[in-house]
Structure 1
Amino acid sequence: MHELTLADVVREHRRSRPETVALVDGDRRLTYPELDERTNRLAGALAAAGVGRGDRVLWLGVNSFRILELLVAVGKLGAVLCPANWRQSTDELRFVLDDLRPAVVVWESGPLEEALDPLRAGSDARWICHNGEGPEGYEEWIAGHPAVDPAVEVPDTDPVLLLYTAAFDGRPNGALLSHRALVSHSLVLGALRQPEEGFVFLDSGPLFHVGTMMFAAMTLVYGGTNVLLPTFDAELACTLIERERCQGAMLFPAMITQLVEANADRRFDLSSLRFGPFDEQWNSMITLDDSPWGRSFAGYGQTQVAGMLTFHGLGLGGLGTSGRPSLLAQVRILDADGAEVPDGTVGEIVARGPHVFSGYFRRPELTARTLRDGWHHTGDLGRREKDGTLSFVGPKLRMIKSGGENVYPAEVERALQEHPAVTGAAVIGRPDETWGQHVVAIVTVSEPVAEAELIAHVRGLVASYKKPKAVVVVDEIPRRGFTPDYDLLDDAHGGGGYPGS
């Protein structure tokens, strides 16, 4: 039996949807036949640059239609695309380059150039400027190759997408997602979201985040139109929703608030957007989504399952906060010894199924530990209720959620401890009405140091959203063995609001 890949999806849409627009980015519009032709040229360019099965292509830039055409093109060769978090510091990006060892880097000139210049000098990869001109510019690079399908046989179990995640130990790990994972997850997500013929989705969140990528992939699989928003700008988002008649978007509460403010005078017609309820103003601007997805609170997910593992829409009215498992997944709740716990008891969430990831790139021990006994051990705690629905309780290891982004204390603590005056550090999350939580650093120091200096120091090593909003200097950090006593620190410094709490 033939195994369906993302490349096959586009090949089929070329024939069955010859007039459908696949991608919109500014003034550029690509139909599915044009997308298939361009990805053939792009696959040829990548192959000429030495990209073959298992090789990596790195994207460094804001959202662009080229991310999705790169995803299809690497899929035609059996290679892997990594859209990296462009908001990272030079130090973080250097780690990604050293870890990923890409054959080709497609990068964006402009604001990122200063951070990337020192990295380009020492790299063996072929660097292509996606918004540049000449032989090293993206368009001229692919134009020199024929629009011939490479016709490489690629199993659907081959990884095609790598997303960095889970920096519990202070450094991120690359989760590998296969064609099968993305296609199968898209089918289940679509069953809940119910995209109809002519579906248009606004990629308003970053495509390095699985929350946006999962909807972009679903839209591609269902033959819809992806509209690319480079970075979130409320007025531009309103313009695109009205102009393209977008029916879906990736939006967090803070983004919705900005959209409401941008459209306070009702300059924009947002009625095409089908979305869940928020407040009276928002509800009056849009069409409330009556699909199972729109009437629910999403569910529980993570990058390692291509997006969602459970859907609240499959458990509407149930006791659990996270609904029931994906239609293509099995979920168990296990104790520390690996035995399934009774209903109502908290344990680790484990899962298996076609949209579970393939493992971590260059992390054989971590992969073996995570995917042991044929199950993906999520590192998260949950509980099965008596009606069979599931409740997500929280990470086994602490995580802060700020503006929809995951912040792992170990990563920020490592950055703090690189300052010469810091002798100890612990990081907590404090509730924040706008962002959910913000980061607070608790430090011990060997000499006086200004709060602003420590915040700027962290900002120089990690992405801006991870930096502390406040720094508290203490004489001693309470500990449980070698680990900071985060519960005591929360009580003393106003911590709380963690995922699942």
Structure 2
Amino acid sequence: MNLADRLRAAAERLGGRTVLTLDREGLSYRALEVMSARVGAMLRRRGIGPGDRVAVMLPNVPEFAVVYYGVLRIGAVVVPLDPLLKRREIAAYLGDCAARLVVAWHACAEAVEAGSAATGTDYLFVVPEEFRRLLRSVAPEHGVVPREGGETAVILYSAGTTARAKGIELTHANLGGNAATVARMHALGVDDVVLGALPLYHAFGQTCALNATVHAGGRLTLMPRFDAARALEVIRRDGVTVFQGVPAMYIALLEQPGVSDLSLLRICASGGSAMPPAVLRAYEERFGCAIVEGYGLSETSPVSASNRGGAGRRPGSIGRPVRDVEMRVVDDAGRPVPCGEIGEIVVRGPNVMKGYWNDPAATAEAVRGGWFHTGDLGRVDEDGFFFLVDRRRDVIIRGGYTVYPREVEEVLYEHPAVRQAAVVGVPHPELGEEVAAVVAVRSEVPPEELRAWVRERVAAYKYPRRVWFVDEIPTSPTGKIIKRALGPPGHGAVSP
């Protein structure tokens, strides 16, 4: 199987129906198929073949899909990279995967030229009109190179929120199966319009937006950069029926004044990081569309669990495992813990990655006995619903007491002035760690008020003794707070 076969099959079935839109421009299934076949032919002219790595450094524009499927159809491996990367990061990733070529957006030219110089990697810049003229000069080669399901299709570099990014090898079977699961679970069809605001270079946007939409024969309307006001315009203009986002996007939509009617939406899906219950309740009350929260990681293609509609939804949970996927909560020895007890979430199934690129030791540490160890702490109830508690590495030990940051963050989000919140441990000479909160606010509020707000709602050892304010809390493209990027306490810091 080759993931590019999904596009070829859809093009044969749907022909002139639109698959991608960006503002007023549209691309049909037939056009996407032909353009990707031209890209494949062009890459072959450059000597690129099965197994070779091609880095793709493009924003959410139609050319991303054109190049993505063009690389896959000749059996090569796509290495999607964030267009905002700098020279040093580009050089590290290109060198690590030994990419033969990087196809990059024209605005990235300076950084790509500098980064690729260190590795000797060839590059091609995409300027939309010039790129289309280039492709028209190349005869399409419509054949798709057969690939085994277990062969690598994509190498994703993790967000690296706490450590050096690793190359995650996802196979044709990983990605194709997960896209089909998403399409089936959300009942995607040819009349659906999906908002493509999630970055396509990440697993969430790539699987749940691009590949699932193509699998279902729907339409993906793209946003190169998420802006809440603009997103609302696009939802109304294009008749969006499916919105997939991270919690930060839902928070931003809530901050838009005077908006209450999103009646065209039939599905709102959230992932990437835990959804604060206060945000979920406020969104559903205001917009009338239930949020279906799911769970996954890049290493799991990414979807592992999800809520469903009706009785299959439990607000506050990450749902149940998706089709053919198993999940457990285990102790440090890998033994399942009783229902309701906290342990590490592990995942087994056809969505689990092939491994970390050129890192067998890290792969063996992460995947044991077929189970991928997520590093996330959670619990499962008697009905099989999983609940995310926190990242194992983020847990704070204060004077021997365990504090889960997410619990404290959820309380902070309930305060009307709080827009973003991150709870971290800071060194303490006697207690080992002290609880601290980093907060971005909608309106001015004294740090003492936030401290008291939490103290009234949690055990005495859990509330943050230190609070400091920032304009914006740094997050990854999927909305995960990058805690290692949080600076030392500054404005607004208070002590007990």
Measure how far apart 1:319 and its partner are.
9.8
Could you say which residue in structure 2 is the equivalent of 1:109?
106
**Is the CA contact (8 Å cut-off) linking 1:37 and 1:147 kept in structure 2?**
yes
Is 2:83 the partner of 1:86? yes
**Is the CA contact (8 Å cut-off) linking 1:319 and 1:387 kept in structure 2?**
no
Equivalent of residue 145 in structure 2, options 132, 145, 152:
152
Measure how far apart 1:260 and its partner are.
5.6
Measure how far apart 1:21 and its partner are.
0.8
In structure 2, relative to structure 1, the CA distance for the partners of 1:222 and 1:172 (3 Å cut) is same
Could you say which residue in structure 1 is the equivalent of 2:289?
288
> Which shows bigger deviation, 388-397 or 31-40?
388-397
Could you say which residue in structure 1 is the equivalent of 2:202?
209
> Which SS does the other structure have where 1:313 is aligned?
coil
Could you say which residue in structure 2 is the equivalent of 1:420?
none
Measure how far apart 1:199 and its partner are.
0.8
In structure 2, relative to structure 1, the CA distance for the partners of 1:472 and 1:80 (3 Å cut) is same
Is 2:162 the partner of 1:187? no
Is 2:359 the partner of 1:363? yes
> Which SS does the other structure have where 2:49 is aligned?
coil
| Structure-2 separation of matches of 1:249 and 1:6 | 24
Could you say which residue in structure 2 is the equivalent of 1:430?
437
Could you say which residue in structure 1 is the equivalent of 2:264?
272
> Structure 1 segments of 4 or more deviating over 6 A?
279-282, 399-405, 426-429, 463-467, 491-494
> Which shows bigger deviation, 358-367 or 242-251?
242-251
> Which SS does the other structure have where 2:155 is aligned?
strand
Could you say which residue in structure 2 is the equivalent of 1:440?
none
Measure how far apart 1:321 and its partner are.
2.3
> Which shows bigger deviation, 31-40 or 153-162?
153-162
> Which SS does the other structure have where 1:95 is aligned?
helix
**Is the CA contact (8 Å cut-off) linking 2:161 and 2:484 kept in structure 1?**
no
Measure how far apart 1:299 and its partner are.
2.9
Could you say which residue in structure 2 is the equivalent of 1:422?
none
**Is the CA contact (8 Å cut-off) linking 1:275 and 1:287 kept in structure 2?**
no
| Structure-2 separation of matches of 1:330 and 1:428 | 35
Letter paired with 1:60: M
Residues 66-117 of structure 1: per-residue CA shift (max 9 Å, x gap): 222222222212222122122333322222222122111111223x344334
Letter paired with 2:437: R
> Which shows bigger deviation, 5-14 or 343-352?
343-352
Could you say which residue in structure 2 is the equivalent of 1:72?
69
Letter paired with 1:343: C
> Which SS does the other structure have where 2:323 is aligned?
coil
| Structure-1 separation of matches of 2:203 and 2:252 | 22
Residues 148-185 of structure 1: per-residue CA shift (max 9 Å, x gap): 22342112322222221163663101112222222221
Equivalent of residue 44 in structure 1, options 41, 50, 74:
41
Equivalent of residue 398 in structure 1, options 391, 394, 398:
394
Is 2:300 the partner of 1:305? yes
Kindly report which structure 2 residues correspond to 1:403-482, keeping only aligned pairs within 5 A, or say none.
430-432=437-439, 468=485, 470-472=487-489
Could you say which residue in structure 1 is the equivalent of 2:226?
232
Q: TM-score scaled by structure 1? A: 0.73
Residues 209-244 of structure 1: per-residue CA shift (max 9 Å, x gap): 333223222111111111111111334323322232
Measure how far apart 1:129 and its partner are.
0.9
Could you say which residue in structure 2 is the equivalent of 1:377?
373
| Structure-2 separation of matches of 1:389 and 1:265 | 33
Percent identical: 26
Could you say which residue in structure 1 is the equivalent of 2:135?
142
**Is the CA contact (8 Å cut-off) linking 1:40 and 1:148 kept in structure 2?**
yes
Measure how far apart 1:42 and its partner are.
0.8
**Is the CA contact (8 Å cut-off) linking 1:168 and 1:397 kept in structure 2?**
no
Could you say which residue in structure 2 is the equivalent of 1:171?
164
**Is the CA contact (8 Å cut-off) linking 2:91 and 2:116 kept in structure 1?**
no
> Which SS does the other structure have where 1:13 is aligned?
helix
> Which shows bigger deviation, 163-172 or 310-319?
310-319
Equivalent of residue 24 in structure 1, options 21, 26, 37:
21
**Is the CA contact (8 Å cut-off) linking 1:45 and 1:141 kept in structure 2?**
no
Letter paired with 1:274: R
Measure how far apart 1:205 and its partner are.
2.2
**Is the CA contact (8 Å cut-off) linking 2:40 and 2:73 kept in structure 1?**
yes
**Is the CA contact (8 Å cut-off) linking 1:21 and 1:225 kept in structure 2?**
yes
Equivalent of residue 338 in structure 2, options 329, 338, 342:
342
> Which SS does the other structure have where 2:488 is aligned?
strand
| Structure-1 separation of matches of 2:3 and 2:82 | 23
**Is the CA contact (8 Å cut-off) linking 2:254 and 2:283 kept in structure 1?**
yes
Residues 312-352 of structure 1: per-residue CA shift (max 9 Å, x gap): 32874669822211112012333222333333333322222
Could you say which residue in structure 2 is the equivalent of 1:222?
216
In structure 2, relative to structure 1, the CA distance for the partners of 1:247 and 1:139 (3 Å cut) is same
Equivalent of residue 245 in structure 2, options 251, 271, 288:
251
CA RMSD after TM alignment: 3.9
Is 2:27 the partner of 1:34? no
Letter paired with 1:207: L
| Structure-2 separation of matches of 1:33 and 1:262 | 38
Residues 345-381 of structure 1: per-residue CA shift (max 9 Å, x gap): 3332222211111111121211122222222222222
Could you say which residue in structure 1 is the equivalent of 2:461?
none
**Is the CA contact (8 Å cut-off) linking 1:87 and 1:464 kept in structure 2?**
no
Measure how far apart 1:130 and its partner are.
0.9
In structure 2, relative to structure 1, the CA distance for the partners of 1:359 and 1:469 (3 Å cut) is closer
In structure 2, relative to structure 1, the CA distance for the partners of 1:282 and 1:324 (3 Å cut) is closer
Letter paired with 1:352: R
Q: How many residues align?
A: 421
In structure 2, relative to structure 1, the CA distance for the partners of 1:230 and 1:319 (3 Å cut) is closer
Q: Provide structure 2 residue ranges, at least 5 long, that are not aligned to the other structure.
A: 269-278, 396-404, 414-418, 425-432, 443-471, 473-479
**Is the CA contact (8 Å cut-off) linking 1:81 and 1:160 kept in structure 2?**
yes
> Which shows bigger deviation, 379-388 or 223-232?
379-388
In structure 2, relative to structure 1, the CA distance for the partners of 1:429 and 1:98 (3 Å cut) is farther
In structure 2, relative to structure 1, the CA distance for the partners of 1:162 and 1:428 (3 Å cut) is farther
In structure 2, relative to structure 1, the CA distance for the partners of 1:117 and 1:345 (3 Å cut) is same
In structure 2, relative to structure 1, the CA distance for the partners of 1:258 and 1:96 (3 Å cut) is same
